[in-house]
Amino acid sequence: MIQAGFLPDTLPQPNGWEIAASLKSAREVTGDFYDAFELTDGNIGLVIADVCDKGLGAALFMTLFRSLIRAVSKIDFFTNAEYASTISSGTRLKNAISFTNNYIAETHGKTSMFCTIFFGILDTHTGSFSYVNGGHLPPVVINQQGIKETLKATGPAVGIESGADYGIGEVVFERGDTLFAHTDGLTDTINPAGEYLSEQELIPLLVGDQPLTFLLEQIHNKVKDYSTGAQQFDDITMLAIRRRVI
């Protein structure tokens, strides 16, 4: 994949947490991406996104969206330097997503390119997770009983309209909770009968104590079995975060 250099070589693995991700592109270029990075306040930024359309155009905008989100969320020029250390996760999220949205809409609006983005900031000490969901498929928080919470959209897809408003969601991870996010390529998988793969069929694969990388591979195996090896038409990207039990 041409843009492999725009994906993180390694993912942060804070004490008490596990983070895993996977991207399998349908073509040589992709409009999907994921990211995980440490912020200036010691928290962890986590992103999964899907640029509209396919091909080289989507691939180019993927690199732009990814770079803007990462760069803007890491700097504090939106606040007085004396108080930069006190910027909240919610403010950091809103600054980054709003700046990215406005830049794309105002500078590249004629291209009609946009991106669904789920961007969260994890406080690894408290388990608090603040997020903005810009039109992305809602991630789910899972525990041993199944789906605990669904993290629905807090605003529109990013890059469509300058000045769009984005709300901030909050959730707290308890020990054993897992967040699972994916792009639509996963649930666009079709079997020979023309039926789409349901997210509900995947949730049981994520309940367990095996490493997240293994569980994500299990999901890819499920996709292959469900589609009986048919050609993959869309990129499949997944991101998972687990708060360890001990």
Instruction: Report DSSP letters for 134-174, one per residue.
Output: ESPPPPEEEETTEEEEE---SBPPBTSSTT-----EEEEPP
For the chain, 246 residues long, give each residue's pLDDT as a single digit of tens.
455 667 899 999 999 999 999 998 876 677 899 999 999 777 999 999 999 877 777 888 899 999 999 999 988 755 555 554 568 999 999 999 999 999 999 999 888 899 999 999 999 999 999 999 999 999 999 998 999 999 999 999 999 999 999 999 999 999 999 999 999 999 988 888 889 999 989 999 998 889 999 999 999 999 989 988 666 677 899 999 999 997
**Residue 235: Cβ within 10 Å count:** 26
* Sheet of 140-143, strands arranged across: 17-24, 236-243, 178-182, 140-143, 146-150
CATH architecture for the domain at 2-243? 4-Layer Sandwich (3.60)
Give the domain ranges of the chain: 2-243
pTM over 0.85: yes
d(CA 141, CA 98): 25
State how far the Cα of 181 lies from the Cα of 138, in Å rounded to an integer: 7
**Rounded CA separation 75/40 (Å):** 8
Mapped onto helix, strand or coil, the DSSP state of residue 245 is coil
> 58 is written with which tokens?
């989507």
- pLDDT computed for residue 83 by the predictor: 52
Nearest to 66 by CA among 86, 45, 81: 45
